[in-house]
Amino acid sequence: MTSVEDHPVAAWSFATDAEPRVHVVHENPDWFPPFEAAFRAQGVPFQEVLLTGGSIDLDAEPAPGVYWSRLSASAHTRDHARTKEFTRAVFAWLEGWGRRVVGGTGVVELEVSKVAQHALLRRHGFDVPRTLAVFGREDLPARARELEVPFITKHNQGGKGLGVRRFDTHEDFDAYVASPEFEEPADGTTLLQEFLRSAEPFVTRAEFVGGRFVYAVRVDTSAGSFELCPADACEVPDVVPFALREEITAEHPLVRRYEELLAAAGVEIAGIEFMETADGRTVTYDINTNTNYNPAVEAVAPRSGPGEIARYLGDLLRAETSS
């Protein structure tokens, strides 16, 4: 077997005579080091597929192995807007040839649409925030008046807190929509959403690998930030907003419901965010299938997120090569 030391960084090939390995399809090298370290530590052969360009022969069989999607809804903020379309094309090709894809076509569509996430959560009986999806700019002022103030806006293709703003009056929102400061969503869809008041100044993100609970993270929101990216590359100096929430375990009823949801949706790796509100609700508002892990939490967690992913994908790879 080829050593993991030999893996080509930021290069990719779909040669059918290549050794089976885990192919990590992504567009942001800054987020990859924790996963690279986990693959190396567990001796799992892997290859990065940096999908910011390239080409495929649709009539050629893809290289053997397991393919893992790290597509992010925020790719367009790194000048990689077309990566979403590249990923759709590559995954259609891979799945057409019967390759094992973790985070495949259905999951990609979930990642890039908060509308789809909301619909999935509601269909499975979760409490979700009151939300309106507005296409274009023209109807925003009128539809906003269907919500009490304060309310917030979001981009349908979110991540990194994209387009998330709080408005305390409808008039302030009207002025924002008419101003040059208005943030045009990547897909033209703005979400208007009720403002949730948390019982305490934090939200919770539950992490899952292989559809099974790994740990839960408490995310401090006392500073009012909507930027919840937990990756090392997103760290802000002198700010420690992430902490392990030890009382949330695999036996927690909500965690069990999340596992059932992920199984039904075919989502194998995800972070799900929820808030416990001041009026007693537990509201689930985000499913992130391109999850990252905070180094401070990883240092004290009973299990490592990247470590669990390397183990899970390594097991899938062994199953693929032995069949």
Among 153, 178, 180, smallest CA distance to 166 is for 153
- How many residues in the chain? 323
pLDDT tens digits, residue range 187-224?
999 999 999 999 999 999 999 999 999 999 999 998 76
- Please state, in angstroms and rounded to a whole number, the distance separating the CA atoms of residues 290 and 73: 8
CB burial of residue 17 (10 Å; 0-12, 13-18, 19+): exposed
Element holding 311 (H helix, E strand): helix 305-322
Structure confidence at residue 13 as a pLDDT band (50, 70, 90): low
Structure confidence at residue 161 as a pLDDT band (50, 70, 90): confident
- Please state, in angstroms and rounded to a whole number, the distance separating the CA atoms of residues 100 and 63: 11
pLDDT tens digits, residue range 301-323?
999 999 999 999 999 999 999 87
171 to 175, 177, 234: CA distances (angstroms):
6, 10, 33
CA 36 to centroid of chain Cα atoms = 18
* Phi (first) and psi of residue 32, to 5 degrees: -85, -30
- Please state, in angstroms and rounded to a whole number, the distance separating the CA atoms of residues 277 and 284: 11
Q: For helices 33-41 and 305-322, give the axis angle rounded to 10 degrees.
A: 60
Among 213, 209, 304, smallest CA distance to 255 is for 213
In the chain the domains, ranked by start, together with CATH numbers, are 4-111 (3.40.50.20), 131-194 (3.30.1490), 198-302 (3.30.470.20)
Count of alpha carbons within 13 angstroms of residue 284, beta-carbon side: 21
Looking at residue 15, its pLDDT comes to 66
- Please state, in angstroms and rounded to a whole number, the distance separating the CA atoms of residues 148 and 168: 9
